[in-house]
Amino acid sequence: MDHCPSCTRRVYVIEKIEANGRVYHKNCFKCKEDGCRLTLANFHFHDNELFCPKHVPKLQAIVVPMKGQPEHMGRL
């Protein structure tokens, strides 16, 4: 019997999703970041964790400057 890597409980055939050679519960097959619903068509696997396309960590760390930070202290 397979165990879900997400919740470590048994996975029965009726509720299983197979991805990356692992077996998950349908309910556990979700984005680690925000719990977004995943499908076999759109999931990403990163560091043994599941992510949706929106929250998957980028391979290259890109530093994005925060928007809305004023570079000056306004007008005098």
Q: Which residues bind Zn ion (CB under 5 A)?
A: 4, 6-7, 25, 28, 31, 33-34, 36, 52, 55
Which is closer to Zn ion, CB of 12 or CB of 60?
Answer: 12
Taking the C-alpha atoms of residue 3 and residue 23, their distance in angstroms, rounded to an integer, is: 7
Q: Which of 31, 26, 30 is nearest to 12 (CA)?
A: 26
Nearest one of 75, 38, 68, 69 to 55, comparing CA atoms: 38
CB of 44 to Zn ion, least distance (A): 9
Q: Which is nearer to Zn ion, 25 or 49 (CB)?
A: 25
Nearer to Zn ion, 19 or 36 (CB): 36
**Residue type, position 25, single letter:** H
